[in-house]
Amino acid sequence: MKPLIFHNPNCGTSRNTLAIIKASGEQPKVVEYLKNPPSRDELVELLAKMNLSPRELLRSKEAINDELGLDNPELSDNDIIDAMMAHPILINRPIVVTDKGAALCRPSERVFELLENPVSSFTKEDGEVLHYGKG
């Protein structure tokens, strides 16, 4: 399977993750999830593949998080998913799916574990050099 990335081009972590995938010789399917959000079923499936709760995937830094009161611990998983469906900016990114699994790639170096032939080193936009050794 071709890698799949749920990407936000305005996010440095997402851009670095996409660049690591490409530097590793892969041409992923890129889904700009703010323009083309996953369906509710796809989001639930992604959460299961990543073994994350909706709250763990919630991007709480967004102003809409506070406006909707999503930090309320009494909200159910369905309430959080409903908010993500209504406001995709609340879905944390980037999410990468490959044959090896799925993960929220924060930090971007988490993507190395999902790639067949990850590049051994990569320089991020900010100049930080990442090294990956299989082992």
Q: Which of 3, 5, 11, 21 is flagged as catalytic?
A: 11
What is the pLDDT, as a whole number, of residue 94? 98
CB 30 within 8 A of CB 3: no
Instruction: Give the domain ranges of the chain.
Output: 1-33+93-135, 40-90
Picking from 79, 93, 83, 81, the residue whose alpha carbon sits closest to that of residue 33 is: 93
Residue pLDDT tens, the chain, 135 long: 899 999 999 999 999 999 999 999 999 999 999 999 999 999 999 999 999 999 999 999 999 999 999 999 999 999 999 999 999 999 999 999 999 999 999 999 999 999 999 999 999 999 999 999 865
Q: Is 105 marked active-site? A: no
Question: What is the residue-wise DSSP string for 65-106?
Answer: HHHTTTT-TT--HHHHHHHHHH-GGGB-S-EEEETTEEEE-S
CATH entry, 1-33+93-135, from 3.40.30.10, 3.40.190.80, 3.10.180.10, 3.30.70.250: 3.40.30.10
Is this structure's pTM higher than 0.85?
Answer: yes
Is domain 40-90 annotated with CATH 1.10.3720.10?
Answer: no
